[in-house]
Structures are given as structure tokens and as C-alpha cells.
Structure 1
């Protein structure tokens, strides 16, 4: 039985919304499906799904060696994009290593 987690990302000022689906298969590999209005984000899935990532690969530290952040670094055009973090959270929940809880970034006046 595979586990699937879906998240929606409202990125803020660019308004290029993204839907992410992380699936943890019976083979122990995490795969992603991404629908995005952003042409850069749309390319992430090709890079990510070329690698076989298990549950512990998804959680790899330090950040600079994490396969999700490495893949995003190859195709994204904006360092402050919140999609990489959303990919991490979706994969974490799909693998059973995290719980579904809403996350947000809020600016204060």
C-alpha cells in the first residue's frame, strides 16, 4: 500500500500557485507530481523523479546535501521560493515521518 500526501502552495507575491503530491510507494521510494503555474517549479519533478529517494533521503541534512533542495537549486530562479519546503513537508508526511499540520509564513506590520 502506498501513502499519498497532497499540499497546495500559495507562494505570495508571484501568485504562481502550485499543487504537490508526494507518494511513498511499496518499493520504499518517494515520487512527486507537481502542477504549477510557475515554469521553473514545473521542472522540479523531472529532476526529483530521476533519483530514487527513500524516507531517510528525504530528511537528509545538512540542507545543502538534501536531494530535494539540490534538485530545486538546479531549476528554481528565486532563492526565497517556499516550494522546496512544501515538497519536504509533503514527503515527510507521505513517508510517515511527519504529521499533517498547516504551516504558514505571516508578515507582521
Structure 2
């Protein structure tokens, strides 16, 4: 009949309509969105309290939005958690700092 099959139906409200189930690759866009939002902020100009407030106000609603419909895999939750920890404690690849509190 000439109808082509597709594996990608696009997104609806930011969530892919077809996803690969519970594997971590299907929800990597959530981690990338959070990393992009945190990368725009200058951590050197903010105190720890300022960074904490920014994470609570701007990053956690992103995660909450996607978790309303889907349970995110543990791998994605750990990646989000690590991204937030690194932002809070000013972690940089060239200068390693210890996290002062056990997460």
C-alpha cells in the first residue's frame, strides 16, 4: 500500500509518544534538559544556599513533570541526582572537590 513504518511519532508535551520501555536511554532527554539548565548558571557567583534554591525551584519541577506519567529508571534517577550534587558542591573535572554531606 506504500505506507512507511516509523519508530518515532514525535513528542507530546515534551514526552516521547513511543519509548523503549524501562531502559535508561529512553529518558536521557530528561538528564540532558537538567544539565542544560544548570550549565547556564554561574556557580562561582552563587552561594551554596543560592544554588540549593535554584535547584529546588528550577530543576526539581522538570523531574516532577516527567514522573507524573512515567516511573523513571534507576539509572536516570542516579544521573539526575549526580548532576544536582555536582552543581551544589561546585564539582569540576579539572578540580575535584569532596561533597561535604553524605547524600
Per the normalisation by structure 2, the TM-score is 0.39
Bigger share in helix: 2
Hey, which of these two has a bigger chunk of strand by percent? 1
> Which of the pair has more CA radius of gyration?
2
